[in-house]
Amino acid sequence: MSQIELVSQQYRAHFGSDPQQVIHGPGRVNLIGDHTDYNDGFVLPAAINFGTDIAATQRDDKLVRVLAVDCDNETVEFSLDDISFNENKMWANYIGGTLLALLKAYPNITGADLVVTGNVPQGAGLSSSASFEIAILKTFAALNAIDLDGIQAALMGQDAENNFVGCNCGIMDQLISALGKENNAMLLDCRSLTFEHAPIPENMALLIVNSNVKRGLVDSEYNTRRKQCEAVASHFDKPALRDVTLEQLLAAENDLEAELVKRAKHVITENTRTESALTALQNNDMEKMSQLMAQSHLSLKNDFEISTPEIDFLVDTIAAQLGSEGGVRMTGGGFGGCVIALAPKYLVDAVTQKIAATYQQQTGLKEQVYVCVATDGAFNR
């Protein structure tokens, strides 16, 4: 049974009728370019074939009723006229915050009955939250016949996460979930919100391995890293690290705390790597892509200090299998989550078997492997 059929069936069981709309918001994986987005830099994500599905019917009042299948069938009810932070059900705040952002631009939207489910692994760094936000926005836009575009939706999702949920995320997750393109990654300029699609070669798979080292962005050191980056940009009197060169940073090394220099060095060099990755993909140059992803991982590990021993073990194990035919690195906010490998399809089984034979024995944790394809974003469907 497809996800669409499943969520429709769950809607019928709960509300006793067929839904008017069934909407999908994809998750994402970032091939390269981590912690560059909130520094006005470059990222290279792809929307993936895992995401959030919402079955919905419009109401003629302001009431929103939600069944969250994946949260033990918990329910919430609230009015669009009275949205407040829910201390007991954190998942509900992604809905409330997103709708508050939508209401600023479209105050006359009406309520809805919703059933929500998804298959993005929670806490793995594949952006289940942005997938959820974009799916909510697409749902309410469809129900209310609003001509909402993907960039508007992405900014609203980011607003919800920054100002309601309490995580200072950048724009990448929401924008790729909204506007991703099938069989492509996206080089996104997080300052101008312009983007260029980067073809993923037909013989390559997106192999995502969840370390099952759990982390929550809101509770992690994510916000600390952001403040450190802002402190360095402020030192140079620049709006963001995007505007600081590596030469400028190294020349000012003695004027900054060593830790701040390391954080900024990662971001500045990662921007360069991410732009180079677009060219590598366009030229089907996997040897170059392999080098760039390896350099990115080492930078995240040593300069940004957000990797873990388990993640490093996975990266080293997969890299040994791929050689220069593919690339691998940690991906996401850090402190756990997933690694992403761009792997030739013929090597996927060998990589998977090698991880299965070694990872749990080494770490005591059981990995989960997802072989993914790049899909269209919610606002490209």
Residue 335, pLDDT score: 85
- Give the residue numbers annotated as catalytic, written as ranges: 173
Residue 108, pLDDT score: 97
CA distance 80 to 74: 19
Residue 218, pLDDT score: 42
The stretches of 149-221 forming alpha helices (DSSP H) are 150-160, 172-179
pLDDT tens digit sequence for 51-92: 999 999 999 999 999 999 999 999 999 999 999 999 999 999
CA distance 209 to 338: 5
Q: DSSP per residue over 80-97, as a string?
A: TT-----SS-HHHHHHHH
CA distance 64 to 42: 37
Residue 123, pLDDT score: 60
Residue 217, pLDDT score: 53
Q: Which ranges of the chain have pLDDT less than 70?
A: 121-127, 215-220
Tokens 């209310």, located at residue: 144
CA distance 340 to 314: 10
Which amino acid would we find at residue 340? I
CA angle 213, 218, 224 (to 5 degrees): 95
Helix (H) or strand (E) holding 221: none
CA distance 333 to 33: 11
Taking a C-beta distance cutoff of 8 angstroms, is the pair 25, 135 a contact? yes
Q: What domains lie within the chain, and their CATH numbers? A: 3-196 (3.30.230.10)
